[in-house]
Amino acid sequence: MTASSAFLTDRYELTMLDAALLAGTHDRECVFEAFTRRLPEGRRYGILAGTGRLLALIEQFRFGEPELEWLRENGVVRDATLDWLADYRFSGTISGYREGEVYFPGSPFLVVDAPFAEGVILETLILSVFNYDSAVASAAARMVTAANGRPVAEMGSRRANERSAVAAARAAFIAGFSATSNLEAGRTWGVPTMGTAAHAFTLLHDSEEEAFRAQVDAFGPSTTLLVDTFDVEKAIELAVRVAGPGLGAVRLDSGDLPNLVRQVRAQLDSLGATSTRITVTNDLDEFTIAALSASPVDSYGVGTSVVTGSGSPASGMVYKLVAHRSHDGDGDWVPVAKKSDGKASVGGRKHPVRRLDAKGRAVAEAIHIVEHGATVHDNGRDLLVPLVTAGDVHREHLGASGTAAAREHRERAMAELPDQAFRVGRGDAVLPTIYV
């Protein structure tokens, strides 16, 4: 039986539901929107990731007997609410950005149409998925840009929670990373996996030469040998002697990388290993990758920085009720908004459009506030697509194929951005968000 995702939530989602059921407002039709108020400081754009994971989790959002019994024993909600939860299946409609889309402040990347009770209890799940996955994808996209066409691999599993590690590998792949070290990400989401050996393998053997020979015997001369356990210069000479000039790659995990990489490249060439690649994996982020742009590096491996969002581990995303049906007899839609200082929201259903110039470059994020069912007339690119219709998830967003499609869409979406979006240095959001 598939594990329930219903407890991946905050208690107050269920206590709000409990009170709404008692008040009779639980079935009032509502519109919820998820958006970010601002990008992490200095960032010019964000990359949305997590949609495929979220939709699978919504399908698993069920309250079985173990969940109901725990709620009963701990007195979280009333018995009548337990009965309601026992039959819970999301029956509403969700539209949103395609996964991999570029996003900007104020634009709703997810719109949930559902009775209050059905929509509100998904809040924590929606935000926990998008806030983390998008933080990773946004940082990863900057690293891919800094690498300027050289492959970047995700290697951060040991720096993250075991579940987060899988999500991070998926998000980084969507953002353009070439592979991951995480096997579960490969099995579940179709992310290519890679990896050869760590320093422990060298230290296991009686000599570095014995370790290199064991690895070459197992994987052939095209393998990647880790050459900085002891003395890099001696290890390079030994690696080429053991594997021959057809050695696939050497990996550097420490040292003054700009100088060390140049020395290693010169030494490899002098030994006839002109096609042997150099990969570096030493606490890299988008800034150190950019600093290596003039060095003869062939590929990068990134760990801590990518799984922590390169200093911004959450995306500042929120989930707000923006409209509901009135209960005064006419059933009209009523816009609602929060007025708190620094946290004010904009009421009413919204339809985001990306406006493009004649060359197909993005120039603005236009947010239309619309009546329910109204048609938006704008020459820009509509950003919302169907994700869930009447409770049924659109299957093209799920699994490995959905992940691959998100990666492809991310590449197309980023190609629309103006050139200044790709500067690694600090800056403001590259597109303005305007309400029309």
State pLDDT tens for residues 97-106: 999 999 999 9
Cα 411 to Cα 428: distance, rounded to the nearest angstrom: 21
pLDDT at 373 > cutoff 90: no
Q: Facing residues of 280 across strands?
A: 252, 300
Of 142, 139, 47, 177, the C-alpha closest to 424 is 142
Question: Is residue 15 scored above 80 in pLDDT?
Answer: yes
- pLDDT band for 329, please (50, 70, 90 cuts): low
* 145: phi then psi, degrees, rounded to nearest 5: -60, -45
Q: Quickly tell me which residue has 């890679």 as its tokens.
A: 194
360-369 average pLDDT score: 95
Q: In the structure, what pLDDT confidence band is assigned to residue 421 with cuts at 50, 70 and 90?
A: very high
| pLDDT for res 341 | 81
The residue with tokens 């001696």 is 234
Choosing among 3.50.50.60, 3.10.129.10, 2.90.10.10, 3.20.20.70, the CATH entry for 150-311 is 3.20.20.70
**Residue 342 — pLDDT band, cuts 50, 70, 90?**
confident
- Where residue 371 falls among pLDDT bands split at 50, 70, 90? confident
What average pLDDT does this structure show over 165-173? Answer: 98
CATH code 3.20.140.10 region(s) in the chain: 11-136+315-435
pLDDT number for residue 282 = 87
Residues of the chain with CATH 3.20.20.70: 150-311
User: Which residues have CB under 8 Å from 325's CB, separation 6+?
Assistant: 28, 29, 30, 331, 332, 333, 334
Q: Which fold has domain 11-136+315-435?
A: nicotinate phosphoribosyltransferase (3.20.140)
Q: What is the pLDDT of residue 61?
A: 98
What is the four-CA torsion angle of 370, 375, 378, 384, rounded to 10 degrees?
Answer: 80
pLDDT recorded at residue 76: 97
Band of pLDDT at residue 327, cut at 50, 70 and 90: confident
Q: What is the overall mean pLDDT for the chain? A: 96
- Residues 100 and 337: their CA atoms lie apart, in Å, by 28
Mean pLDDT computed over 408-423: 97
Q: What is the pLDDT of residue 402?
A: 98
Residues 238, 278: Cα–Cα separation, whole Å: 16
Distance CA 436, CA 432 (A): 12
Average pLDDT, integer, range 305-332: 91
